[in-house]
Amino acid sequence: MPTELEESGGAIVRSQGLSVSVGRTDAIGRSALEHRANAWRSVIGSMPAPEVLEWIIGIRRPPPAASAEAAAQVASLVAAIDIERKPARSVPVLAPRKDWIVSGYRTFERQEAIWLRKFAFQGKAFERVSELARSICGGLVRPGETRWDPAQPRHRSCWGVAPLQGERNPPLPPGARSLTSEERQREILQASAAPGLSRHHWGTDFDLFDADLDPASWERGGRFWPAYVALRDEGADYGLADPFRGNGSSNAGYIQERWHWSYWPIGRGLLEFARANEMKLQRALEARWSLRPQFTLVRQRWRDYLFGVGEGKS
């Protein structure tokens, strides 16, 4: 059954005359994207504020028309770059069509599970080892190791967690120490948003093609470089852009994520709403994070990690 947000949002969407899918926007001109943005700004402004806040932080699903419109734009873009196959921008690396989107909408609970797994140093390896962390740990993380690996005893010593069963963590070198709780959070925040701050909550953002989310594969000469060039060159015609362009460092901000594409005609309206309702948003986030030690830095710096990236419009 639809949630209250879907029902109220859906009624407002219909009142604005917004269809579920718009297809290829460059066929009707760039001005159509601004029209969509203005219409969605009106929709968001007409919805009850608590419901929009729940949409933003991922505890209620977005209106179906929002998710469907963004997904349709991504599908149209990927189909176009696959069909065009221009010599300089051919995309032979594309996955089968069903695998284009490796990650789309994500709830607060799903993002929280990802966050807590990384903080507890469990499961598969994850991005990224900062130079600051490498220095703190006194060489336990070797040059060339860019991902934190919970199965690696040296990394477990650096992270400050107990050894795996049957294993032994090496001692810290003289003058070195394990990472603090805040430093662990900063490491995670380079490549993962905290729950409540992820744009994947909005239904407007998608990770494309690369299930490994490997930055090196998207650099010039990498497997997904042709895909990135094609997305970069064509994306603006569909209202899609890559907001995570690596403007941060180990102290703030996210690494470059060339696989992450955002539909700005809706995303921009949500960011504007978040800025206009900052204190209400803070209270909603703090209610979810509570005083847990896994979120101490996030509670202090959440504005940087929500607002400190591109708005998506090229």
HSE-CB for 131 with a 13 A CA cutoff: 1
Residues ≥6 apart with Cβ < 8 Å to 16? 39, 42, 43
Same domain, 163 and 231: no
Same domain, 72 and 118: no
Q: Evaluate whether residue 40 is within a structural domain.
A: yes
Same domain, 296 and 237: yes
Strand-strand pairing, 147-148 and 260-263? unpaired
Same domain, 207 and 262: yes
Range of the domain at 50: 4-106+198-307
* Residues of the chain scoring pLDDT < 50: 1-6, 20-29, 85-96, 248-252, 314
Name the domain boundary from 189, 217, 241. 189
Q: Evaluate whether residue 226 is within a structural domain.
A: yes
Q: Evaluate whether residue 312 is within a structural domain.
A: no
The predicted structure's pLDDT at residue 14: 52
Residues ≥6 apart with Cβ < 8 Å to 28? none
Q: Check if the beta carbon of residue 129 is closer than 8 Å to that of residue 187.
A: yes
Same domain, 55 and 164: no
The predicted structure's pLDDT at residue 7: 53
Q: Is 181 helix (H, G, I), strand (E, B) or coil?
A: helix
Tokens of 236: 């603006």
Give the predicted TM-score (pTM) of the model. Answer: 0.86
Same domain, 202 and 101: yes
* C-alpha dist (Å) from residue 172 to 29, 133, 187, 234, 298: 60, 13, 19, 49, 27
Dump the DSSP string for 80-96. Answer: HHHHH--GGG--TTPPP
**Closest among 131, 99, 111 to 58, alpha carbons compared:** 111
The predicted structure's pLDDT at residue 305: 92
Omega cis (within 30) before 97: no
Domain count of the chain?
Answer: 2
* C-alpha dist (Å) from residue 177 to 36, 58, 130, 154, 260: 52, 36, 15, 12, 34
